[in-house]
Amino acid sequence: MDSNQTIRCEIRCDWKKEEVFTIYRLPLLDLVYQASTIHRTYFDPGEVQVCSLLSIKTGGCPEDCAYCPQSVEYDTGVEARPLLQVDEVVKRASDAKASGATRFCMGAAWREVRDNKDFDRVLEMIREVNDLGLEVCATLGMVTEDQARKLKNAGLYAYNHNLDTSSGYYKSIITTRTYRDRIDTIKNTRRAEITVCSGGIIGMGESEEDRMEMLMTLANLDPHPESVPINGLVAVEGTPLQNRSPVSPWDFVRMIATARILMPESMVRLSAGRMQLSLEAQALCFLAGANSIFAGDKLLTTPNQTIDKDKELFSALGLRPRKPFKEENAV
């Protein structure tokens, strides 16, 4: 494909390596132009989904994910805390709603969900946050199909489980579980008819090929994940990746544009790492097809761009927060 050829907008789950590499390596402005064209075919380019994140169970995680400040393996200053109470979570969700969020994602530093009292409490959180009229998302580690059905029955709208990187590079980042485990959890949530949120992280020392392979793996899931978060590594002191330099804004734009072209109907989320991007670079990400962000002063344990800065950005670009699906479907 040469840079003048317009990429056809169709939903495909059979992308070949060469096709993905050709798209990823287009001259940047051609890539952005084509991604933007596809974005405008499927979405209102003036709308951005605003999601809020809350760590419902912080730190003390037995996994060894090299990027993560919540692993017990690393001395990062993140204190391990027990699972929050339902009331506290509902209060935080309703505050997030009042400040404009329409999706609420609850994260737990767990390797996997266990069938115990803590899981029952998370199910109750989901029921109550769902009653607020928010799209509820959770990221709790590995789940079985049976657990996924319980989450669905409680009203869970989406499950986040990132592939994080390519299958080849995965072993350099995490040794306590496999890529296959990740894919299996995604399949379990899909079988339970929960929408899938899956993406990854750039800036962990992976090659361009690793980035393209990760996007190809996501784009060859059938159906595509409804939501694809692209995170820039937040290099936290104490983790093995503490000295990684920040991701280039051009790389961010390239990842987002390629994700948009490969998965035209998915929400592409400009996730962690916005603190290291200028407002202008973020604008280019929206032009390239990003249509979702995490808002609020904190991600799970690290700082995020402030609400005031987000307001400035939305106002400068003429962007509007997207309504939750529930309201769209309401009569």
Give the burial string for 113-144 (b: 16+ CB within 10 Å, else e): beeeebbebbbebbbbbbeeebbbbbbbbbbe
DSSP alpha helices (H): ranges in 192-330?
A: 208-219, 249-262, 279-287, 307-317, 325-329
Is 203 among the residues that bind ligand DTB (CB under 6 A)?
Answer: no
Is 86 among the residues that bind ligand DTB (CB under 6 A)?
Answer: no
User: Which residue stretch of 214-222, 239-247, 260-268, 298-306 sits at the interface with ligand DTB (rule: CB under 6 A)?
Assistant: 298-306
Name the minimum Å distance from CB 231 to ligand DTB. Answer: 5
CA–CA distance, 125 with 91 (Å, rounded to integer): 11
Is 172 among the residues that bind ligand SF4 (CB under 6 A)?
Answer: no
Q: Is 105 a catalytic residue?
A: yes
Its sign, for the CA torsion 143, 327, 100, 223, is: positive
Instruction: Identify which of residues 161 and 322 has a Cβ nearer to ligand SAM in the complex.
Output: 161
Which of ligand SF4, ligand DTB, ligand SAM, none sits in contact with 59, Cβ below 5 to 8 A by type? none
Q: Is 121 a catalytic residue?
A: no
DSSP alpha helices (H): ranges in the chain?
A: 17-24, 28-42, 86-98, 117-131, 145-154, 167-173, 179-191, 208-219, 249-262, 279-287, 307-317, 325-329
Catalytic residue among 61, 103, 211, 260: 61
Catalytic residue among 51, 92, 103, 137: 137
User: Which residue stretch of 3-11, 143-151, 237-245, 299-307 sits at the interface with ligand DTB (rule: CB under 6 A)?
Assistant: 299-307
CA–CA distance, 65 with 123 (Å, rounded to integer): 26
Q: Using alpha carbons, select from 272, 139, 259 the residue that is nearest to residue 202.
A: 272
Q: Is 51 a catalytic residue?
A: no
Residues in the chain: 331
Helices 17-24 and 208-219 pack at an angle, to 10 degrees, of: 120
Which pair of structure tokens corresponds to residue 235? Answer: 């290099």
Instruction: Identify which of residues 34 and 240 has a Cβ nearer to ligand SAM in the complex.
Output: 240
Which residues make up the interface to ligand SAM (CB under 6 A)? 67-68, 107, 109-110, 139, 141, 161-162, 164, 201, 231, 233-234, 236, 272, 300
Name the minimum Å distance from CB 56 to ligand DTB. Answer: 11
Where does this chain bind ligand DTB (CB under 6 A)?
A: 53, 69, 105, 107, 139, 160, 162, 199, 229, 231, 234, 271-272, 299-302
Q: Which residues are catalytic?
A: 61, 65, 68, 105, 137, 197, 269
Where does this chain bind ligand SF4 (CB under 6 A)?
A: 61, 63, 65, 68, 70-71, 109, 111, 141
